A and B are shown apart, each in its own frame.
Chain A
Amino acid sequence: MSIASNASAGAPRIHLSQDMQQIIYRLLAAGLLCLALSLATDAFLTSNNILNVLRQASLLFFLASGLTLVILTGGLDLSVGANIGLSACLAATVIKATGSPILGTLTGLATGCVIGICNGLMVAKLRIPSFIATYGMLWVLHGITYYYMAGETIHGFPPGFRQIGSGHFLGIPIPVYLMVGFLVAGTVFAQRTVWGQQIYAIGANPVAARLTGIPIDRRLILVYAFSGAMAGVASIVFLARLNSAEGDIGEALTLPAIAAVLIGGASLFGGVGSVFGTFIGALILTLVLNGMNLLSVNANWQPLVTGVIVIFAVWLDMYGRRKA
């Protein structure tokens, strides 16, 4: 959980908790990846490319940080990508109609959040397994978005709004600041609040958590709502960056988001993982995809590589458990 000194008086040796070890391994992996890429291509270690990696990682991180909390409870949210689609399209419509980026942003966040609450209600109240409930939601959202957009594209937003996605402050992209903000907020929420602790407890053993008096339904709805809201955040940044909204926006992001969480050390079985781990996971995945790009690998290989990474990450988790 954190660096913990051994309690027994005879051995004052500092030992690292398992979670900390996991994070250090992942940081090492990210470092090695950077080293390998900078040796393989000159294009990697340029400030432009580094900032580009960070900006791409930030988009993934928004989605993945919300998903982390869902996975911590032992659930899964497969609807996050489709959620981005609908949230972005509705936000775009509102911006176009009212000319107000603020109203548009609020619309995007609210849409994401409402979708998340629906997921949470299905999981907590109807007791539908999360992966299947959110999978159904994926197709419902997909259908609504495609019907709503009818193949159209909405583009051309006010420059002020576009700053959210493509602006810089002190030479660093705005989304990176947002990423750091959500990283700190997410970590504080998960590690330093009672609700965060209860979320870990629910994932570790939902039956025991319920019999310990934790209001499981409310916490689950909160977690899915948060995941939906983060998809809303991602949709706004995405929209601002692309300067256009289409029905299939975000569709290809679900698998990478899940991959980032799993690479970050979260367990699909719940109770294990951290927002910071997911941050590193998002970095690693972005580095891999960026490296493939720099080495001129056809982009068609990306889903395949992501798929293999997901499976590998889960296998690593299972292998670690079996050994323990």
Chain B
Amino acid sequence: MTDHALSPSRPLRLPSVPGVAISLVGLVLLFAFSSPGFLSTGNLSNILVQSVILLLIALPMTLIIMTEGLDLSMGAVLTLASLVLALIIVSTQSLILGLLGALAVGLAFGFVNGSLVAVLGIPPFVATLGTLGAAQGLALIVSDGQSVVGIPRFVRQAYSGTVAGIPTPILIGIGFYALFHVLLYYTRFGTYIRALGGNRDALTLAGVRWRPILIAVYMLGGSMAGVAALLMTARMNAGHPTAAIGMEFDAIAAVALGGTSFEKGNGWIFGTLLGVLTVGVLRNGLNLMAIPSSVQVACIGALVIFALFIDGMRSHKS
């Protein structure tokens, strides 16, 4: 509304403060000085490998948040999917059937989440809080509160194998990042995701049926939880009924750190990648300093609140 805004100006290509890049570099420097082992190739590769599971759910979380949505059920769905995957693999010895089972769980929850949000119009944070309870309950029911063990050795390969010297998880991570990048910037689907968050009426008036698209976004999130369940199970060599509880928080943290806003469809998928790495570096570095996981969670919580504060300041200014 100001005179300044009326004058034609070239757009900024990047968010005005790529704070996530600064914090990533800052953390790397901090840990490089504080922990001698931090900069070793082995540890750096370790950070990347350990970040992949988070990346797999942070990518769809970015798209969900860009629709002015949220998926609090993702950690619980990931847990449930990994239990189902483990149970199927243990009983059938088939990786494919197990993966299909995990994907089915994810897609089903995604469909329910998406329908609650898109069709019934229930605010996403409550709808997915409800399905979080449901997924957590189901995880307890299918596992009866016990870990699922006896996973065959070949499953472990999915996590610990290498291709051309590069760990498989890193390749999987790169592949999915590329997929989401293309999805967001080069397809109609990506365009409509921004419109879903920015102005739903515009889509309706353009003759686009947005409800199926919104449901699809949540189903994409669910299916990625299924994919992540495979890596998770392979990494732990077991299915555990509380394995990924709260992982959605790390994902939301990574997205928020990455500069994606909770309003108006303003998102940045590369920022999410940087956000995931920041969370990964933070957790790894704190681990090396022998700081317990509980404190790491508190640190990430504080970081998110800080990131949101910055986000709020930025949108307040404009």
Chain A interface residues toward B at CB < 8 A: 76, 78, 122, 126-129, 131-133, 135-147, 150, 255, 258, 262, 268, 298, 300-311, 314-315, 318
Contact = CB atoms under 8 A, between A and B. Distances in A.
B15 interface: no
A185 B141 CA distance: 40
Contact of A310 (B120, B126, B138, B299): B126
B131 interface: yes
A132 B256 CA distance: 10
Nearest to A310: B130
B91 interface: no
A136 B125 CA distance: 13
Contact of A128 (B137, B295, B309): B309
Contacts of A129: 262, 308
20 contacts: A122-B305, A128-B305, A133-B308, A136-B301, A136-B302, A139-B246, A139-B301, A143-B298, A144-B295, A146-B292, A150-B292, A255-B133, A300-B140, A303-B134, A307-B132, A307-B136, A310-B129, A311-B131, A314-B127, A315-B122
B262 A132 contact: yes
A144 B293 CA distance: 10
Interface of chain A: mostly helix, strand, loop or mixed: helix
Contact of B137 (A138, A142, A300): A300
B26 interface: no
Contacts of B123: 268, 314
B141 A143 contact: no
B294 A318 contact: no
B93 interface: no
A146 B126 CA distance: 26
Given A129-B262, A318-B120, A139 B297 contact: yes
B308 A308 contact: no
B308 A139 contact: no
Contact of A142 (B72, B121, B122, B297): B297
B297 A131 contact: no
A144 B294 contact: yes
A76 B137 contact: no
B296 interface: yes
Contact of B141 (A76, A139, A146, A301): A301
Contacts of A318: 120-122
A98 to B, nearest CB: 26
A318 to B, nearest CB: 6
Contacts of B309: 122, 126, 128
B254 interface: no
Contacts of B131: 307, 311
Contacts of B201: none
B135 to A, nearest CB: 8
